[in-house]
A and B are shown apart, each in its own frame.
Chain A
Amino acid sequence: MKAVPAIVITGLASLFLHFDVQACAVCFSSSENTRAAFYLTTAFLTVLPVAMLIGGFYWVRKLQQKHDAVDQS
């Protein structure tokens, strides 16, 4: 279990290893702007549904608890 922090740190560090590597030389845009936009929209599109699902989960759970409280009384 001692190795876990080392693995985590190496994994996170590897995220910054290839800062300037371009995977595709022929793609439409290599501008920093477009890359930033893709980053931003990826994060946006990823976080939004997960947040909504978590919110929905708690909403339904709250409704169900209210429901159960009515049943018991």
Chain B
Amino acid sequence: MILLVAPEIPANSNAERRQLVSSSIFATVILIMTEVMFFAALISAYMIIRSGAEEWPPWGQPRLPVFATALNSLTLLASAFCLHRSVKVFSSQSSQSKQLLALTIALGTVFVSVQGYEWVQLISFGLTITSSTYGGVFYLIIGAHGLHVIGGLLALLACLRRLNSTSQQLTIDNLRAAQIFWYFVVGVWPVLYTLVYLL
């Protein structure tokens, strides 16, 4: 057999890599750049489709629950605050940090659950993804954001699990990467809320 790779030699696995900034943070920032463009495209699509409609929301389609969702947004903002505190006390008070991280996850879960309940209600009122372009863009944008919230929650859960395990230590950089992603998810929500619910 030809040697695509020569026989194993001990690699310099213990050599120190000179990082500009922790690789997990760097990779997350690049990922967020893509995500920003993804949501920018959804926002553009929303604006263009809406501009072509004669009436928005179309006649006979239910109105969105503006106030209930505003209250729900507060839980998401509160979760970001908890995460901020959690990262701040990460190295000094680890048990408090763990509790705050769990609280963040709980608040995020509440947000997603209430959103899900809202969807069930809206569908029963006759706003479905195919009922009009209004319903289409609503479920598209809010659904895309919901999936990101779930993704962020999974990342935070992975952090929490590693915080509890003894074999794999969670570093502050791992938590920071998850934090950046969660901040993005929380930060993009007010923009989407204003666009879809308020305007």
Instruction: List residues of chain A with CB under 8 Å of any chain B CB.
Output: 28-29, 31, 33-34, 36-38, 40-41, 44-45, 48-49, 52, 56, 60, 63-64, 67
Contact = CB atoms under 8 A, between A and B. Distances in A.
Contact of A60 (B20, B44, B50): B20
Given A28-B52, A29-B52, A40 B21 contact: no
Interface in B26-66: 29, 33, 36-37, 40-41, 43-44, 47-48, 50-52
A57 to B, nearest CB: 12
B20 A40 contact: no
A34 B52 contact: yes
Contacts of A28: 52
Nearest to B30: A56
Interface residue SS majority, chain A: helix
Interface residues of B, number: 16
A37 B47 CA distance: 6
Contact of B52 (A31, A45, A60): A31
A38 to B, nearest CB: 6
Interface of B: 18, 20-21, 29, 33, 36-37, 40-41, 43-44, 47-48, 50-52
Given A41-B47, A56-B33, A67-B18, A48 B52 contact: no
A43 B117 CA distance: 36
A70 to B, nearest CB: 9
A34 B51 contact: yes
Contact of B48 (A38, A48, A49, A67): A38
